[in-house]
Amino acid sequence: MKKLFFILLPFVFQLITQSNLWAQVLRPIKWESKTSVNEVKKDGTVELIFTAKIDDGWYLYSNDFDPDLGPMLTTFEFAKNPSYALVGAKPTPIGAKKKFDKEIWNGEYTYFTKTAEFRQKVKVLNEKFKVETTANFQVCSDIDGKCIPLENDFVFDKVKVIAETKPAVEENAKENLTENKVEDKTETTPIAVKTDSTNELLTTAKLPETQKEAETPRQPAVVINPKPQTSNLLGFIIAAFLSGLTALITPCVFPMIPMTVSFFTKKEKSKTAAVTKALFFGASIIGIYVLIGVLFAAVFGADSANLLATHWLPNVFFFAVFILFALSFFGMFEITLPSSLSTSLDEKAEKGGYLGAFFMAMTLAVVSFSCTGPIVGTVLVEAAGGQFVKPVLGMLAFSSAFAIPFTLFAIFPSWLQSLPKSGGWLNSVKVVLGFVELALAFKFLSVADQVYHWGLLDRHVYIAIWTAISFTLGLYFLGKIRLPHDSPVTSISVPKLLLAITTFAFTVYLFTGMFGAPLKALAGYLPPQSTNDFDLTNLKSSVSNTATKQVKYSDRLKLPHNLQGYFDMKEGLQAAKEAGKPVFIDFTGHGCVNCREMEANVWSAPEVLRRLQDEYVVIALYTDDPLELPENEWVTAKSGKIKKTMGKINLNYQEEKFGVNSQPFYLLLDHQGELLAQPKDYDLNISNFVQFLDAGLIEFKKRK
């Protein structure tokens, strides 16, 4: 059992912290519109007010910085109408913040967080006043850097135009048309525009005419088989199962195995009755924990995913809870349920029968809570951001691993002789779990810190904390540190020595991050590299420019690392047919920070670059490019709305064909435009990307 723990521990930590899913459809911004007055005289002026509520962890680019800088400015397109005339070239942003970005854009831009407001004055020319406007904008996540171009329609036709201005109306208009003096609250803390994790956003092929309809996301026409989600769910279930096995070898549970087994062997006259009751006992354990999962899912189901991912309150709460779990495992105190509860359950269990077996299962759950509670809590917290069934499946997997050994030992009591004796090694299990809980705690605090720009945990501080935790764990494995309930150490076992070596190696790996190493294996768990105080790494490309053919839009668009490719789907597919190669589609954007991260850290790897250069025809489809295409290239979306610009046409294709609208998003297609492999999004693991490319090549050769 001890060896089992040491073997399973790395897998538990690895699997329980993996939660990256490829893009899904969300909408973290909602627009509202109103006018400054409800009545106005002919030839008078009225202000159109556009306001947006932006979810935590997201920001909206404003419209008052250099359009050639890189990010997509917010623009408003006003439909021509004889009932009004614009006063001023463009809407005025109210209270936009400023930031100078040196790493990506090398310039200053303006942006909004939480709320945004734009105002546009118009002159009323006749009684049939009507203004139709489309806002084109870009919303980005400062957790993982993803940026998505969106649009929203507005209609202003509720203003009553009167022939003569009434005094009351004049006074009201004067009051409401006064320029709002907004205090400059520009934050000095820069937003994190380069990060190492993933987020999603919704765009629609058409935003309906009314504002109420505009806030209702349209379901994608085609949804890709969510294989990565299934894989992630399977990994979570395996992690929960391993957590249940780990819980068995804690000092609160392990000594109860022989005590519980004796409950069935002593009270039953026949072997069959004992086995039947033991099976019922195991089923009761599973039922109790699954019920916990159902109750948790009812409170923290799928609708809470965005809240738990970005809001400071749940993340700080989880940080505090995990710190308490760690301190409890370290032996500072025990988290226990009231003793009266366990006493009452124990008395009911003594009555025997199937009801007694059920209460025996409840007694086990209560008595072992000080050890299993933190583990169960970890599983549930990891499940909280997923679909409704995820907590239920997590508890089913955990309780199955927890219940099966009790049931088997009850059926085969002779196996008890093979169990190792209880001792100090049990407490070592708790302490090691305490280190794991402590490391996970700072992940939650880091999320809140990135979203709200507190500046508490930049990359160096975070890595320093994890390095210290890892180094201390290595000392603990070597017996150099003893905690309150530890037994004296006269020698260390071989498994502990190997774990100590592994832990120190991990510590050295972490320490390189202090000098700018990307630590790609931990990209999803560390703050962005943009928060580094200094960075000694410098990735360069050695690919030569060998292509001579002039391709469409190559005068305005370029691929990274001197790769040669295409920017038009039809032209790229035709080139792929002529070359006899599969197609690599890169849905990207000028303002997509994560796209730049992938290009710098993954595409630059020799094994990836070689495949993209030699084995594929690369087509980069920009989803935020404002270039208006000729009318014969316009596309009518399934909603009926006409898409005129390159960016909107590419984004409409991505959404309607594949049900996804976030970037980066990578596809491998054959010459008929059919998928060769499961799509891929932001993933800094080079090996995963190589496997993705190789899988497409293998499938392409099969079809060919």
Better-scored residue on pLDDT, 200 or 1:
1
Better-scored residue on pLDDT, 69 or 693:
693
Q: What is the mean pLDDT of residues 204-218?
A: 36
How many of the other CB atoms lie within 10 Å of CB of 457?
22
Task: Note the pLDDT of residue 472.
Answer: 96
**Cα 90 versus chain centre, distance:** 35
Q: What is the mean pLDDT of residues 349-353?
A: 63
Residue 317 confidence (pLDDT) above 80: yes
Lowest mean pLDDT, pick from 73-82, 323-332, 545-554:
545-554
Q: What is the mean pLDDT of residues 155-180?
A: 59
Amino acid symbol at 636:
T
699 & 570 share domain: yes
Write the pLDDT tens digit of every residue in 381-417. Answer: 666 554 557 778 888 888 888 788 877 877 777 776 6
Instruction: Report residue 230's pLDDT band, with 50, 70 and 90 as the boundaries.
Output: very low
Task: Note the pLDDT of residue 255.
Answer: 64
- Name the nearest CA neighbour of 619 among 673, 672, 567: 567
Structure tokens at 639: 């909603």
Q: Classify strands 617-622 and 583-588 as parallel, antiparallel or unpaired.
A: parallel
- Is 115 domain-assigned? yes
What CATH number does residue 589 fall under?
Answer: 3.40.30.10
- Is 408 domain-assigned? yes
Lowest mean pLDDT, pick from 225-229, 304-308, 557-561:
225-229
Q: What is the mean pLDDT of residues 365-380?
A: 72
* Neighbouring residues of 601: CB distance < 8 A, sequence distance ≥ 6: 518, 520, 539, 684, 686
245 & 335 share domain: yes
Residue 463 confidence (pLDDT) above 60: yes
If you average pLDDT over every residue of the chain, what do you get? Answer: 76
Better-scored residue on pLDDT, 375 or 551:
551
- Is 539 domain-assigned? no
User: Helix (H, G, I), strand (E, B), or coil: what is residue 235?
Assistant: helix
Write the pLDDT tens digit of every residue in 620-631. Answer: 999 878 888 999
Structure tokens at 162: 């009167």
Write the pLDDT tens digit of every residue in 245-261. Answer: 887 777 667 666 766 66
* Cβ 93 vs Cβ 63: under 8 Å: yes
183 & 257 share domain: no
151 & 254 share domain: no
Lowest mean pLDDT, pick from 229-238, 305-314, 466-475, 555-564:
305-314
178 & 283 share domain: no
Task: Note the pLDDT of residue 26.
Answer: 61
Instruction: Report residue 662's pLDDT band, with 50, 70 and 90 as the boundaries.
Output: confident
Structure tokens at 78: 């006003």
What CATH number does residue 62 fall under?
Answer: 2.60.40.10
- Name the nearest CA neighbour of 46 among 57, 55, 34, 56: 34
* Cβ 646 vs Cβ 625: under 8 Å: yes
3-state SS track over 191-212: CCCCCCCCCCCCCCCCCCCCHH
The whole-model pTM stands at 0.47
- Name the nearest CA neighbour of 259 among 150, 466, 413: 413
- Give phi and psi for 624, each to the nearest 5: -130, 15
Residue 575 confidence (pLDDT) above 70: yes
Write the pLDDT tens digit of every residue in 36-56. Answer: 998 998 888 999 999 999 988
Q: Which domain holds residue 106?
A: 29-199
The CA distances from residue 446 to 53, 197, 263, 367, 508, in Å, are 24, 12, 47, 34, 22
The CA distances from residue 428 to 198, 323, 488, 496, in Å, are 35, 18, 12, 10
Instruction: Report residue 188's pLDDT band, with 50, 70 and 90 as the boundaries.
Output: very low
Better-scored residue on pLDDT, 456 or 167:
456
Q: Report the range out of 252-266, 528-542, 653-667 with the highest average pLDDT.
A: 653-667
Strands (E) in 102-230, as ranges, are 107-113, 115-124, 131-141, 147-156, 160-162
User: Helix (H, G, I), strand (E, B), or coil: what is residue 420?
Assistant: coil
193 & 271 share domain: no
Residue 204 confidence (pLDDT) above 70: no
CA distance 425 to 9: 14
DSSP state of 565: E
187 & 296 share domain: no
Structure tokens at 264: 């069935």
* Cβ 64 vs Cβ 122: under 8 Å: no
Instruction: Report residue 670's pLDDT band, with 50, 70 and 90 as the boundaries.
Output: very high
Residue that finishes a domain, picked among 424, 442, 457: 457
Structure tokens at 669: 């297609």
User: Helix (H, G, I), strand (E, B), or coil: what is residue 151?
Assistant: strand
* Cβ 372 vs Cβ 287: under 8 Å: no
Residue that finishes a domain, picked among 420, 435, 457: 457
Amino acid symbol at 118:
F
* Neighbouring residues of 650: CB distance < 8 A, sequence distance ≥ 6: 569, 587, 621, 622, 623, 625
3-class SS shares of the chain: helix, strand, coil, % to 5: 50, 15, 35
Better-scored residue on pLDDT, 326 or 454:
326
Residue 370 confidence (pLDDT) above 70: no
Better-scored residue on pLDDT, 549 or 124:
124
Residue that finishes a domain, picked among 170, 199, 228: 199
Write the pLDDT tens digit of every residue in 532-556. Answer: 665 555 444 444 333 446 889 988 8
Task: Note the pLDDT of residue 198.
Answer: 33
Cis omega (within 30 of 0) on the bond before 413? no
Residue 142 confidence (pLDDT) above 70: no
CA distance 526 to 435: 17
5's enclosing H/E stretch is: helix 2-16
Instruction: Report residue 345's pLDDT band, with 50, 70 and 90 as the boundaries.
Output: low
Task: Note the pLDDT of residue 450.
Answer: 67
When divided into structural domains, the chain yields a total of 3
Kindly state the percentage of the chain with pLDDT values over 70.
70
How many of the other CB atoms lie within 10 Å of CB of 369?
18
Task: Note the pLDDT of residue 437.
Answer: 85
Cα distance between the two ends of the chain: 52
Instruction: Report residue 99's pLDDT band, with 50, 70 and 90 as the boundaries.
Output: confident
Residue 487 confidence (pLDDT) above 70: yes
Amino acid symbol at 362:
M
CA distance 412 to 540: 63
Residue 202 confidence (pLDDT) above 70: no
- Is 278 domain-assigned? yes
CA angle, residues 111, 74, 635, in degrees to nearest 5: 145
571 & 638 share domain: yes
241 & 195 share domain: no
* Cβ 647 vs Cβ 624: under 8 Å: yes
Residue 150 confidence (pLDDT) above 60: yes
Alpha helices in 590-683 (DSSP H): 593-598, 606-614, 646-658
* Cβ 682 vs Cβ 664: under 8 Å: yes
Instruction: Report residue 205's pLDDT band, with 50, 70 and 90 as the boundaries.
Output: very low
Residue 220 confidence (pLDDT) above 60: no
CA distance 493 to 132: 75
* Cβ 319 vs Cβ 445: under 8 Å: yes
* Cβ 682 vs Cβ 594: under 8 Å: yes
189 & 322 share domain: no
One DSSP character per residue, 39-66 reads EEETT-EEEEEEEEEE-TTEEEE-SSS-
195 & 296 share domain: no
Q: What is the mean pLDDT of residues 585-610?
A: 84
Instruction: Report residue 352's pLDDT band, with 50, 70 and 90 as the boundaries.
Output: low
47 & 194 share domain: yes
CA distance 684 to 692: 13
